[in-house]
Amino acid sequence: LHSVNGALDVALKSSPQQVTIAGRDVRALSYNGGVPGPTLRVRAGDTLSVSLRNGLKDPSNLHVHGLHVSPENNSDNMFITVAAGDSFDYQYELPANHPPGVYWYHPHLHGFVADQVFGGLYGAIIVEDPEPIPADRERVLVISDITLDSAGNIPSATPMEKMSGREGELVLVNGQLTPGIATRPGERERWRIVNACVSRYLRLRLDGQKLTLLGVDSGRFESAREVNKVVLAPGNRADLLVTGSAGTSTLSALSYDRGSAGGMMMGGGSSRGADEIALATLTVAGEAVAPVAAIPNQPVPRDLRSATVTARRELVFAMGTGMGMGMGGGMMSPTINGRAFDASRIDTTVQFDSVEEWLLTNTSTLDHPVHLHVWPMQIIEQDGRPVDTMMWQDVVNVPARSSTRVRIAFDDFSGRTVYHCHILDHEDDGMMGIINAN
Ligand code: C2O
Ligand code: CU
Ligand code: CU
């Protein structure tokens, strides 16, 4: 769905829906009948209007992940509750300087997020480039995971799965199990990849093909770089160019060790132990195609390393030990600075139009992908080492027992929104805080 004359009006209806996955009838959740929901294509300066109708049996709402839009009123206001059967009209106004790239949407009602996303509620948002990047073809690849019982239902997550973050047994690309993709030698494809998994990290590889990364999240390298892998934490997106060489390649997710709650969890998730998972097959065959034009350089990203920092703060992500629950260890409750989410409390007050430096510290034995709404973060230092390239992301992974330093410019929009762990089970369990910029 493309915007026309600066506006895109869409109706999104969330509802339980029977879909076909891997040849099986599955009772999933869906926007407008499909998994994933429709791709929304807009441009900087556009107004995106979404009329959300909640056909679920539970309350829900809508979040436009990564978009730099107001956190208030009918915009990206995650404090809105849309009751079962109700509707709500959202209006998102993208500023004229909104960065192009890959974004996405999903429900964001605290306590329901992991179940609703795991059920199938997500879709891509593309903010088009002002100057198109030459490519023969463009594809949107929304990667998600799901678990199905023998009757095609999605079983509810166990307490253990919630503690470490659930990972589905099947990893899907656009709702399909290992779909085939065909292209011709020499063709340049642009792949817009979304990690819509609730907790699974994707360490992506596509053997035998040339991969050129334009950027991650709203961040764009000044000149695109050749890579052989792309790592996406839950919530991250990649904007990737694939130049076809004759042959068959497998897009696979390599194992990623994200640690485990308490350092002793067994079997909760597969990305930490399993071998490579095949996600899609790319067949490059036929007559070679003349190469398209070179990839133009991108505007030099803003650099906050030389900015005047007006405040520094530390956010500590921890898995505190809660009430005992057996299994030899007790359940851990995720917290930020020792506290679980409270919708009536403002945890962090920042001054509008200031630049802050945040030290994101993870004291636990598993990774936490830290996400801030509205204002992107520039990564300054990871694990004590300065980052030498400009990296702007809205989900920044903080590996187990380490710290990551970021800078944030709180400009353009004031108001109240949240930061949280994008392992959505952790977010639902309280690893979220409220920030107010004024
Ligand atoms: Cu992708 Cu606060 O969410
Ligand atoms: Cu978000
Ligand atoms: Cu977490």
Q: What's the domain count of the chain?
A: 3
Cα(21)–Cα(185) distance, integer angstroms:
30
pLDDT band at 260 (very low <50, low <70, confident <90, very high): confident
The verdict on ipTM greater than 0.90 is yes
DSSP β-bridge partners for residue 230? 204
Query: Which residues have any ligand 1 atom within 6 Å of their CB?
Result: 63, 65, 106, 108, 235, 371, 373, 420, 422
Determine the distance separating the centroid of ligand 3 and the alpha carbon of 337, expressed in angstroms: 13
Within this chain, do residues 279 and 314 fall inside the same structural domain, yes or no? Answer: no
Determine the distance separating the centroid of ligand 3 and the alpha carbon of 353, expressed in angstroms: 29
Within this chain, do residues 308 and 380 fall inside the same structural domain, yes or no? Answer: yes
Within this chain, do residues 247 and 377 fall inside the same structural domain, yes or no? Answer: no
Indicate whether 298 belongs to any domain.
no
Determine the distance separating the centroid of ligand 1 and the alpha carbon of 3, expressed in angstroms: 23
Within this chain, do residues 257 and 322 fall inside the same structural domain, yes or no? Answer: no
Indicate whether 26 belongs to any domain.
yes
Indicate whether 290 belongs to any domain.
no
pLDDT band at 267 (very low <50, low <70, confident <90, very high): very low
Q: Which atom of ligand 1 is nearest to the CA of 106?
A: 1
pLDDT digits (tens, 9 = 90+) for 316-340: 999 987 544 444 456 789 999 999 9
Determine the distance separating the centroid of ligand 2 and the alpha carbon of 70, expressed in angstroms: 12
* Nearest ligand to the CA atom of 427: 3
With b for 16 or more beta-carbon neighbours within 10 A and e for fewer, the 304-337 pattern comes to beeeeeeeeeebebbbeeeeeeeeebebbbbbbe
Within this chain, do residues 13 and 147 fall inside the same structural domain, yes or no? Answer: no
Domain endpoint, select from 79, 101, 127: 127
Q: Which atom of ligand 1 is nearest to the CA of 66?
A: 1
Q: Which atom of ligand 1 is nearest to the CA of 63?
A: 3
pLDDT digits (tens, 9 = 90+) for 221-247: 999 999 999 999 999 999 999 999 999
Within this chain, do residues 148 and 277 fall inside the same structural domain, yes or no? Answer: yes
Within this chain, do residues 13 and 85 fall inside the same structural domain, yes or no? Answer: yes
Compute and round to an integer the Cα radius of gyration of the chain: 21
Q: Which domain holds residue 117?
A: 7-127
CATH number, domain of 252, equals 2.60.40.420
Question: Which has the closest alpha carbon to 200: 159, 243, 169?
Answer: 169
Indicate whether 169 belongs to any domain.
yes
| Residues less than 5 Å from ion ligand 3, measured at CB | 368, 421, 423, 426
Within this chain, do residues 256 and 185 fall inside the same structural domain, yes or no? Answer: yes
| Atom 3 of ligand 1: nearest residue by CA position | 65
Within this chain, do residues 276 and 145 fall inside the same structural domain, yes or no? Answer: yes
Within this chain, do residues 119 and 250 fall inside the same structural domain, yes or no? Answer: no
Indicate whether 316 belongs to any domain.
yes
Which pTM does this prediction carry?
0.96
Q: What percent of the chain has pLDDT over 70?
A: 95
